[in-house]
Every structure is written in structure tokens, then in C-alpha cells.
Structure 1
Amino acid sequence: MTQFTRSAPAPPPLHPNGVGLCLGMDASKPSLSRSRPWPGLPVSSSKSLGSLNSVNYMEQLLVNCANAVESNDATLAQQILWVLNNIAPPDGDSNQRLTSAFLRALIARASKTGSCKMLTAVAARADADLALHVHRFSAIDLASFIDLTPWHRFGYTAANATIAEAVEGVPAIHIVDLTTTHCMQMPTLIDLLANRPEGPPLIRLTVPSLTTTAPPPPMLDMSYDELGSRLVNFARSRNVAMEFRVIPSDPSDAFDSLIEQLRVERLVSEDEAVIVNCQMLLHYIPEETVGAIATTMSVNSPTLSVRKMFLEALRGLEPTLVTVVDEDADFTESDLVGRLRSAFNYLWIPYDTVDTFLPRGSEQRRWYEAGVRWKIGNVIAQEGLQRVERVEPKGRWAQRMRAAGFRSAGFTEEVAVEVKSMLDEHAAGWGLKKEEEELVLTWKGHDVVFAAAWVPC
């Protein structure tokens, strides 16, 4: 990661109406003297705040700010917030923009306990972020937007190639598409299946219509009925017979209505290959810490594992193949500082990569970074059922899948070659690792997204 070059002036004198008071913190605590050392600096240090230009120190400032906010230390939080605001402008380099996003998220978290005029500008920027992340793409614009980076294309390519291998010679396929990108993967898969030597299969496509009031970005400017009509017409143009169906369902209840509908249908359609394609959506299913919150009515209630329930219900469908693609990080810690560290050391990647494919000031770049800021805000500023960004690393998902009765199907060399060919269309920093169970997308050697394929034991 690059280092900051912008230095910061010394902090202003503490003011009785400073940030700490604005955030609803305890003003009765003793004020800190100007000689109190900054977090992480030796007491005897005579270094200026120019040392804050390092990325590691920026992370440490965020950690200390989070601790101050959580412990209601008004004066310390005021100092750190002021420094961060001055050395991490929202229009700076990639690391400054990353830090600025975390700064906004910490202020949003703290402002839940109070209000202040000093937060007006931050709140206005947050409103602007909201307007950006709820921007509604046309289907064509969304497809072009997604094609800018392999963040989603990697999973599309790995899953599509594996699905095509799994359904060779099968006359009828039921695809359950659990995705955050509104079926943008499907046209490529339809094309792939249309060109089978034995002829295309009948495709039934089922998607959930998320009932949540705050769906994650990106958003689409059309209904799923209209989207389905366009996909059916596209399939027809490729001489593929296709049916499309939407079932209102949501990750918050483990897609209960969708699973139940599929279970009933499975009883009468055993000859149909069922493919469950999970692209970046499984981590929105609540995990154990949310289950604990939901069951606090009784101290004797066991912790509810909604993810376990979903995977076991999925196993009961006897699917032909389940593909799982998600971000390889861990945002599930109940401790704010632990989550902040994990998110900071993962979400620098989209800020770093965006500089390679979108010019500063472009509208697409604003949409892209607004989506990342939405994620950061949810991870840092929200708790309980409102904190839906609960990404888990690939190893933990593998444990969950095996515990639910699945075994790894792995990926063939042909699939890996297909993915590598796709990555050649993008910046040189992207790479591919082929592990025993997964394919892993990397950026400058850091794991980004994993893809795995599973079949019932």
C-alpha cells in the first residue's frame, strides 16, 4: 500500500463544545492536557504529526478513536477525529479515501448517542453517499459497471464453467440464483448452455425478490418481472427455452419461503437438475451473534444458527451442485475494534483497484466507492439485526458446508484456465490461486474473493 504524503498541523485547543460533547459523550470527565501523548507515540517523542502519514499509524488512530467512542472518552475522541479529518480527505489518494470512509462510519456510530452542529457536514456527506448507493442502474449499465472489475466476474466465470460441466447431457435444469447483482451472470451462462454439442437444455430460473427495506447496492431500475421478461427473450434469441420466476424471500429468514417452495417442487420433479448459485449473498444470512441477539428473551434459549439451518435445508433438496462465491474476509466479530481492523485490512483493496480502471471524478467511480462506503458504514456503525454485512472467510464456509452434508467438488483445470483468461482482460495486479477446494481471486497477492463448488455427500 502507498503511504500518505500529506502531513497534518497540530491539533487545536480543546473546546467545551467540541466533538466529544456533540457525540453525547461525558463532559464531566477531566480534560486531557496538551502534553498528553497521542496514542501510539512515545511520551518523549518530539516527532510532529507527520508520522501519521503511514497507513499503519492511520489504522492505529482509527482503532484508538473506536476505543474512545466505545468508552465514552470525549476529549480523546475529539482529538483523534480532528486529526483524522485533516489528514484523510475524502478526495485524497486511495488510502486517504479509505480512512475517510472509516472516519465517517465512526462518527455515524457515535452520533447515535447525541447531535451537534459540527456533525452537519459529515451528515450531509452521508446523505450524499446514500443517494449514490441507491442509484438505480439500467440492466445494460449495470452489466457494463460489473464488467469493469473481476470482483464479480471471477465468480461468474468459475461458477458458469462448473455448472456447464455438471449438467452435461441433462435435458432440464433448475437454477436458483442467489445473488446481489440481479441475474447479471445469467446471459453468459445461457450462451454457454446454448452451445452444448447435445443441444441446449430447458432452463428454469428462480430468484428471490428481497423483502428487506435496505437492500445492499447495486440497485436496478426495473422490476424483476421486467428483468425476467428480458432474460426469457434473450434465451429465446439463443434458441434456449427458459422459464423465469420470482419468489419473495429474504436472507434474514434464511430464504425460508424460497426453500419451502423448492422443497415442495422437488417432490414432483426429481429428474430435473437443481443448481443453487450463491454469489455474494450468503453472508447476508444472519450468523450466530445475531441469533444470540434474537434469542435473548430466554437465558436458556440455545444460540440460533440461521446459516446452519439454511445449509441443512439446502442439503435436503438434494441439489446437483451448489456454487458458493463470496469475499474472503471476516466481519463477524462482536468487538468493534476487531471488526474495524479486519475491514480496514480488507477494504483497502477496492479503493486501491479503482485507481486502475476509473478516472478520478467519473460518475462510475463515485457509484463504486459509494457502495464500498455503504459496506464500511454497515460494518462499523450498525449493530444487531441492522448489521447485515457479516462476511466469513472461505475456511469457515467450508466447515459449514461439510457439517451440513456436502463435499467439495473442486474445479477442473479447464475451469481454472477459463478464469485466468478472463483475468487477462483486467489490470496486472489481479491473480488467481487454485487451492484444494477453492479458486481464489487475488489483488497484489492478497486474497479477495473465493469460489467453491459443493455436492451432497
Structure 2
Amino acid sequence: MASGHSAGRPDFYAGIEGRSVENTGAVIDNQPTAPCRTQIPGIVVDPASQIVNRAAPNLIGKRTLADFEKQQFQYNHLGRNNLYLRSVKPRTNYQHSSSIYPLSPIGFSSNLSPDVMGALIQGDQQQDPEKMTNQLHELEKQLFEDEDDGEGDAPINLVAPSRTSSTTSSSSSTSSVASPASACSKQTIMEAASAISEGKTDVGKEILTRLVQVGNAKGNSEQRLVACMLLALKSRVNSVENAPPVAELFSKEHATATQLLYDLSPCFKLGFLAANLAILDATFEQPCCSKLHVIDFDIGQGGQYKNLFHALSERGSVKPTLVKITAIADNGGDDGLKMVGDKLSQIAERVGVCMKFNVVTGLKLSDLTRESLGCEADELLAINFAFKLYRMPDESVCVENPRDELLRRVKGLAPRVVTLVEQEMNTNTAPFASRVAEASAYYGALFESIESTVSRENSERATLEEGLYRKIANSVSCEGRERVERCEVFGKWRARMSMAGFELKPLNQSVAESMRGRLNGGNRVNPGFTVKEENGAVCFGWMNRTLTSASAWR
């Protein structure tokens, strides 16, 4: 489909802020573990080997009060500043069978200073068994627990414990459970997709139940994305109760929603304008051709050509004497296309462009020739593929491979230029879980960009986003021929075009500059939108995520 500028559309304005979610660790045996940390070997040794080294004759036996006071004085004034150890990660795989930790503090004599050892032995002589048990638990916690979730370099004070181990275990267990509101929605979506992909339907359903609390079709951009992904994943789990959209993608309602996407999203609108500039450049390169013939395989409402006519009218006497537009009707119905032709004829006449509109119906790929399309020798032939090829099945769907076959047939028409505009997303041959991740990232950026340009109260936005849901659900939940949404990234399109015999015609610097000028032409500019040249194409995106790309071929 094609689009152009629409009157009364909103200007760009500031977008929404991002958000981050703290990652929490898991709880194993009532001990908190730090996320994404590996165990450190060699910290915990076999208990039996420690029992052998437990004897320390010079530290065991009764002591006089003077000896006790002397050692206590040395501990308080000389050893207190040295009672720090580097924190280490907990060995979650080590379990002890006794309620009292079987390793005596003396067993760690190779790691602790003499002052610490003296203090511990004094404690052994003075305290009752219950207090001794608490101290042993506290020592275990301080030696093996990482209280700092950062670099692991923070010192742990062995002198002044702040709380008992039972309290620590309880509070750690509570804090490690993330609430649905604080969990990262996209991560939760991926958890559900992984469970569904592995056949764990019950687990997937439970995760989807949590997503219900986050999704909101009338909320912010993230909530709207979650609502769409939730319905899409439900269709994947149970396609009987939640039938995925297939035929709906060919309905008038979806065509209307898609046209609104082209009109309201700068990334899509600029893609059409870049294609127009590539066609205009081709006419400059061949000034001897007085006729321009554009063949469009998915013309939609024809909005793209409104802009083309205006651009041609500004060239005065050097514009083509005749512009032919040939629209290909996929399903044999040409009534709507004739109405589009009538509107385009009126616009062309108003701006002083001589235009002829043709509709070709019932055309098979094998019949695609210059004769069947009404091409003439003195015409400059341009083929426009704007958001068309991604819906053509390829070799992964059927052996006929209509996608590549169409490209080869078009190459046989000897066009002067072929324009290719596509969404920058890989949902064609990717497996289910990868498609979910790709759709979440792509449509998440698209929802944010829409949020920055269209108000939530706009009725057109609701219609547009209904169309986005159908696209998301089809690409995520369907397989085989039922999966109509089969987008590919520019690198794959480049490979297909090259195999069909086309040569990339890099869009010149003026195209990118012109697109930036269009993007910045509103009363309020949103810096989130980007225009960049990459590998010969011009890419349009939001927050460094490319959403659409436009390229030219010969």
C-alpha cells in the first residue's frame, strides 16, 4: 500500500521515558543467591578434611582471668581493624545435614587472622551452647553470603553482626520474589514463549495470567504492547478458543488500519517518500524518455502518488509528458482500484500532470510480461514494491517460492528502477521463540513512536493498533501458509535481489537529507526518530531501532 501526507495529522512531540527493572536473585535452601554469578571453587572444602586440622593444643585449656583480660585487650585494640574479609558468593550446592554447621571456626584457621581465632576461642569458653549455635550460624552467613550484589569486593565485618541468620533468611526470601508490577514485561513475555515452545502449556498459561495484570489496550505504549502479545500468545496456546487472524488480514478493516499506519507513522510515510525520490532520480538519469510508467503491486489508497504528482509538477516543462500508473489487483477485485484511479486522476489534473491509470486483474506470475502490463518501448519503467513482498510466500512455505519467482519475473521486464520498502524485522524463517522476541522489540519501538505522535484519545489510533494486533498475532501464533506476516531484514532482501539479478543502486545523499528535512519540518520535532544511510539503503527508526528501510535497484 502507499500513503502520502494527510491533512490535520498531529505533529511530532516528545516521547515517553524508558524504564529499567532491577534483576533479583533466586532463593535456594533459604539462602539468597546473586543473579548471574558463578560459584567460586575452592572456598568450601570437604568437612572431613577440616576435622583433621581441628586440633590446636596451644589454644585449648583453662585460662586465668589475667590471661583472658590480656587477650581481650589485644583483640579490642589491635585486631578490630583487621577483621575484614573479601565477600564471596554462596555455595548453593553445598548442603549440611545437621542443624548446627559441622565446621568449627577453628577449621578456617588458614583464612582467619590469629586475632580473630583468639576471639572465637574465647567465645567458645565463655558462651553457652545456644549462643554458640547462633554464632556459628552467623559466621556461616558472613563467610558464605554475598551481601553486596555488586563487584563482590565489599568487606564483611565479622565483629558486629546486625541480625540473626533466621531473620536474614526470612527477609531475603521475601525480597527475592518480584511483584508483577515491577517485573520486566518483555522478559515475562519471553518466559511465556519459552514455556510454550517447550510444550509446558500449564506453565505458559500461568505466566500469561500474570501478564494480564500488566497489559492494557488503552494504557501507555508498553501496556498496549503487552496486551497485543498476550492475545497473540493465547492464540498460540489454544487456537480453537482464540483463533489467530488470517483471513482478517485481507479484510477492508485491516486495509483501513494499515493505511492509517502509513499516514500516522513517520517511519512508514518517509519510506514511501524515499521511494518517490528514487523514481524521480531515475527520470533525471534518462531525460530522453518523455513517459514514466510505474507498476505498483500493492497500491492501496494511492497516497504515495499524490506526493509524486506534486513533486513532478514542481519541475515545470522538464516533467514527463505522461505518467502511467498500473495497479496489480491480487484477488481479481478492481472496483476499489478504479475508485483510487479516479481520485488520482483528479489530483494529477489539478497539479498539471497528465496521468493514465490502468488496472490489471487475474494476472498469474507466469503471465507477467511487458506485453501483459502494457509497457511501451519509449517509457521509463519503474517497479514499486512498497510493503508488498513480505506477504509473498517463499521457499520455506512452498516449493514454488512465489517471492523469488516474482523478483525474477520483474527482472525480465527490464525496469529502469525497482523500489523496495520493507519493515526491518526478521519473522519469516525464525522459530517461534525468536519471532516472539523480534516482535516484542520491533512493535515495542513502533508503539513508543506512535505514542510520541498520536494522542491516546485519537479514535484513529485505536483502529491503527487493532491492525497492529492482527499483524503481531499472525506472525507469532501462525505457521505454514497461515502465517502471512513474513518480514525480513534488509540484509536478506539484498541477498534475494542479488540472486534475482538486480544491482543495488545506492540512494544518494540528497535522499537522506530530504527525508531528514521532512522529519524536522513539523512544528514540534521529536528527536527519537532517526534517519540514516546504511549499506546503500535509507533506514527510518525510533530510538536507534530501525523500523523501515527503503532501497533502489536496477
Q: TM-score range by the shorter chain?
A: 0.7 to 0.9
Aligned to 2:208: 81
* Structure 1 unpaired stretches of 5+: 6-34, 214-219, 250-255, 292-302
Greater RCO (CA < 8 Å, at least 6 residues apart): 2
Aligned to 2:116: none
Is the CA contact (8 Å cut-off) linking 1:247 and 1:258 kept in structure 2?
A: no
Matched residue SS, 1:175 = strand
Map 1:140-179 → 2, pairs under 5 A: 146-168=262-284, 169=287, 170-179=289-298
CA displacement at 1:180 relative to structure 2: 6.0
Matched AA of 2:541: T
Q: Give CA deviations for 1:403-440 in whole Å, capped at 9, x if unaligned.
A: 11111111122222211111113522111111241111
Aligned with 2:343 (options 224, 230, 248): 230
TM-score using structure 1 length: 0.75
Map 1:330-409 → 2, pairs under 5 A: 330-409=426-505
Structure 1 position 429 matched with structure 2 position 528: yes
Matched AA of 1:284: R
Q: Give CA deviations for 1:109-162 in whole Å, capped at 9, x if unaligned.
A: 2222x54xxx7xxx8x999x999981675xxx9988744321222112211112
Is the CA contact (8 Å cut-off) linking 2:260 and 2:464 kept in structure 1?
A: no
CA displacement at 1:269 relative to structure 2: 1.7
Task: Compare 281-290 and 389-398 and name the one that shifted more.
Answer: 281-290
Is the CA contact (8 Å cut-off) linking 1:145 and 1:364 kept in structure 2?
A: no
Map 1:17-416 → 2, pairs under 5 A: 46=174, 47-50=176-179, 53-55=182-184, 58-112=185-239, 114-115=240-241, 134=253, 137=256, 146-168=262-284, 169=287, 170-179=289-298, 181-196=300-315, 197-211=317-331, 223-248=336-361, 257=364, 260-265=367-372, 269-291=376-398, 303-416=399-512
Aligned to 2:80: none
CA displacement at 1:70 relative to structure 2: 4.1
Matched AA of 1:109: R
The whole-number CA distance in structure 1 between the counterparts of 2:250 and 2:501 is 43
Is the CA contact (8 Å cut-off) linking 2:512 and 2:533 kept in structure 1?
A: yes
Matched residue SS, 1:176 = strand
Matched residue SS, 2:353 = coil
Percent identity, aligned pairs only? 25
Matched residue SS, 2:370 = helix
- Against the structure 1 CA distance between its residues 160 and 317, is the aligned structure 2 distance closer, same or farther, given a 3 Å change threshold? same
- Against the structure 1 CA distance between its residues 180 and 272, is the aligned structure 2 distance closer, same or farther, given a 3 Å change threshold? closer
The whole-number CA distance in structure 2 between the counterparts of 1:150 and 1:212 is 31
CA displacement at 1:3 relative to structure 2: 3.1
The whole-number CA distance in structure 1 between the counterparts of 2:249 and 2:549 is 28
- Against the structure 1 CA distance between its residues 144 and 339, is the aligned structure 2 distance closer, same or farther, given a 3 Å change threshold? closer
* Structure 2 unpaired stretches of 5+: 1-16, 22-29, 38-91, 93-171
Task: Compare 181-190 and 424-433 and name the one that shifted more.
Answer: 424-433
RMSD (CA atoms): 3.4
Structure 1 position 2 matched with structure 2 position 18: yes
Q: Give CA deviations for 1:361-392 in whole Å, capped at 9, x if unaligned.
A: 32011012112111101111222111111000
The whole-number CA distance in structure 1 between the counterparts of 2:544 and 2:311 is 30
- Against the structure 1 CA distance between its residues 289 and 436, is the aligned structure 2 distance closer, same or farther, given a 3 Å change threshold? closer
TM-score using structure 2 length: 0.63
The whole-number CA distance in structure 2 between the counterparts of 1:101 and 1:144 is 18
Matched residue SS, 1:273 = strand
- Against the structure 1 CA distance between its residues 133 and 446, is the aligned structure 2 distance closer, same or farther, given a 3 Å change threshold? farther
Matched residue SS, 2:397 = helix
The whole-number CA distance in structure 2 between the counterparts of 1:454 and 1:135 is 30
The whole-number CA distance in structure 2 between the counterparts of 1:230 and 1:135 is 21
- Against the structure 1 CA distance between its residues 354 and 177, is the aligned structure 2 distance closer, same or farther, given a 3 Å change threshold? same
